Structures are given as structure tokens and as C-alpha cells.
Amino acid sequence: MQYLLDTHVLIWWITSDNRLSAAAKALIQSRRNTLYWSAASSWEVSIKHALGRLVFDEAPEKLFGAELDKNHIESLAITNEHAFLSGQLPMHHKDPFDRMLVAQAQIESLGIVTNDPILQRYDVDVVW
């Protein structure tokens, strides 16, 4: 199976946060799944780090780059198709980063690993 990780999922994985569900942990650990990390999530992490809302021991690009490699997580670029669809989605979610993840999941036929209940309102498979 193929899954797109919501931003908080990889953060919780990296920090061993107990809010990460058992299903999400198993999904990340399984080599049977292909996991993706969106450029939108990198953008979100970078902005929140610059604002002091996310604090890490090292620069986000270094930390997340290493974690993506270590956990065999593929990077998913943002295309024009993704961007246009994110603007056309119903306004269930106001967060542009989450809307981008939904658009990418729909276009690329990916499930989304997230604990955000609002994403369940979209036509996308949510795993938690």
C-alpha cells in the first residue's frame, strides 16, 4: 500500500510521541508499504520552526532529510495539478498544507496517515 504521512505523524514518529497510534507505527515500520512525505510538509515544518512553534535540536532540513532516508520515505513534490486541485476542494479544512495533502493523496491515489478528523470529510482513505 502507498501512504502519505501528515506532518504531525513524522514529527511524532521522530520524537517517539505516545500520541502516534499503534496502527500508524505499524504502517511506518512495515517495509510492505511505500511512504511519502510532501514538500508541503517540509514547507510547513520550516515555517513553524522559523516562528519558534516547532523546536528541534538541529536544522529541520538536516533532521527530516536524515529521517526520510532512514525510514525509506519518498519525497513527493508539489505539481501544478496538485496546487489547482487543492484550491478546488470543498472548504472542510482551512489549512492550506492539509488541503495540499488531500489533493496530492487524491491525484496520486494515496491513503493519508493522520489523526486529523477533518480530513475524513474528503474523498480520501484516512488511516489512524
Q: Supply the pTM of this predicted model.
A: 0.95
Average pLDDT over residues 96-115: 98
Count up the domains in the chain and report the number.
1
pLDDT band at 119 (very low <50, low <70, confident <90, very high): very high
Average pLDDT over residues 20-32: 95
The pLDDT score that the predictor gives to residue 112 is 98
The pLDDT score that the predictor gives to residue 7 is 97
Average pLDDT over residues 5-12: 97
Residue with cell 529541520: 60
- Conformation bin of residue 51: beta by default, left when phi > 0, alpha when psi is -120 to 50: alpha
pLDDT band at 14 (very low <50, low <70, confident <90, very high): very high
Here the CATH number for the domain that contains residue 68 is 3.40.50.1010
The model's pLDDT over 51-81, given as tens digits with 9 standing for 90+, comes to 999 999 999 999 999 999 999 999 999 999 9
The pLDDT score that the predictor gives to residue 97 is 97
Query: How far apart are the C-alpha atoms of 73 and 95, rounded to whole Å?
Result: 23
Residue range of the domain that includes 37: 2-127
Strand 111-113: give its sheet, edge to edge: 73-76, 34-38, 2-5, 111-113, 126-127
